[in-house]
Structure formats: structure tokens, C-alpha cells
């Protein structure tokens, strides 16, 4: 056996690894949607001039939404813009079958807690001297058989 760590894998090796993982996922969760069905989207808060003063980037997949980025210009914070952006993203996610939302944050834990999120994981020193919080929010109640 040979272990190879590389930043430039052969394309066929990368595809083989990803396909092997996909085969495993489907063996555990039959009917799991393929990555091609992921819904990636952005939301923007803009001034009349078109200048972006805030935005959100997220992806809906596997009955959940991952909030990848939420930002509001410092001049416009504390005006409800971030709350509106995340609320609209959650509404869209629910319309597409999401039952949970999750994200990572270093500096906005309190904001997300006010939005109904709770911490489910903590990673210290990412970046060094900080704490990275993994947070989640149940969007829709689901009864498991």
C-alpha cells in the first residue's frame, strides 16, 4: 500500500474517490439526491444605486441549508438587514424541503442565537486565538418513523 497526499491529484483519481464516497452514501441512504440537485444561491441587500451593502450565500441539499456566508457592511449593521437576509434564505430553503439550517461563525454567535440557532460544536484556534462555532437551527419539525 502507498499513501499519496497531493494538491494536484489525477482527475481520474479524484473522480474515483468521489464516486466511491457517493456509492457509500447511497448504500446507507437509498434515494439520496445527487450533488447536481443542490440549490446554490445568493441574496443581496442593495442601495438604490445598486451598491451591495449586505448579502448571503447558501446551499440547499439533503433536506438542509448550509449558510456559507452572511455579511453586512459595518455602516448598515444593527438595522435588521442580516436578520432579513437569513429569514428569506430560510423561507426559500423550507420551500425546497429543508428541515434544518446550519453554519459556522467566529464572531456572530450571539446574533445567530437571537435568530434561533444553537451551538452543536466548538473548534478552538481556528484561526489561532479564536473559537469557531458550529451552529444549527431546526426549520421544520419532522417525525422519524
Please check whether residue 23 lies inside any domain of the structure: no
pLDDT score at 61: 94
Please check whether residue 87 lies inside any domain of the structure: yes
CA distance 97 to 70: 21
111-to-16, 88, 105, 115 alpha-carbon distances in Å: 41, 16, 10, 6
Please check whether residue 27 lies inside any domain of the structure: no
Convert 67-98 to b/e letters by CB count within 10 Å (16 or more is b): beebbbeeeeeeeebbeebbeebbebbeeeeb
| Enclosing domain of residue 104 | 32-138
Please check whether residue 16 lies inside any domain of the structure: no
Indicate whether 26 pLDDT > 70: yes
Please check whether residue 68 lies inside any domain of the structure: yes
For Cα atoms 117, 78, 89, give the angle at the middle one, nearest 5 degrees.
45
Residue 20: count of CB within 10 angstroms of its CB: 10
Please check whether residue 38 lies inside any domain of the structure: yes
> What's 108's domain CATH number?
3.40.630.30
53 CB-contact burial (10 Å; exposed 0-12 / middle 13-18 / buried 19+): middle
Residue with the bigger pLDDT between 34 and 137: it is: 137
pLDDT score at 34: 85
Total count of domains within the chain: 1
Indicate whether 144 pLDDT > 70: no
Mean pLDDT, the chain, as a whole number? 95
pLDDT tens digit sequence for 83-112? 999 999 999 999 999 999 999 999 999 999
CA distance 83 to 77: 10
Please check whether residue 10 lies inside any domain of the structure: no
Please check whether residue 143 lies inside any domain of the structure: no
Amino acid at each position: 500500500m502507498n499513501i499519496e497526499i497531493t494538491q494536484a491529484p489525477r482527475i481520474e483519481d479524484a473522480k474515483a474517490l468521489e464516486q466511491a464516497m457517493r456509492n457509500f452514501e447511497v448504500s446507507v441512504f437509498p434515494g439520496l439526491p445527487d450533488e447536481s440537485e443542490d440549490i446554490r444561491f445568493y441574496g443581496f441587500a442593495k442601495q438604490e444605486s445598486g451598491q451591495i451593502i449586505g448579502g448571503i450565500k447558501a446551499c440547499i441539499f439533503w433536506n438542509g441549508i448550509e449558510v456559507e456566508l452572511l455579511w453586512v457592511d459595518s455602516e448598515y449593521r444593527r438595522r435588521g438587514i442580516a436578520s432579513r437576509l437569513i429569514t428569506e434564505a430560510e423561507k426559500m430553503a423550507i420551500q425546497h424541503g429543508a428541515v434544518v439550517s446550519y453554519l459556522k461563525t467566529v464572531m456572530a454567535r450571539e446574533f445567530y442565537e437571537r435568530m434561533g440557532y444553537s451551538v452543536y460544536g466548538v473548534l478552538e484556534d481556528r484561526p489561532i486565538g479564536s473559537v469557531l462555532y458550529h451552529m444549527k437551527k431546526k426549520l421544520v419539525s419532522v417525525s422519524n418513523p
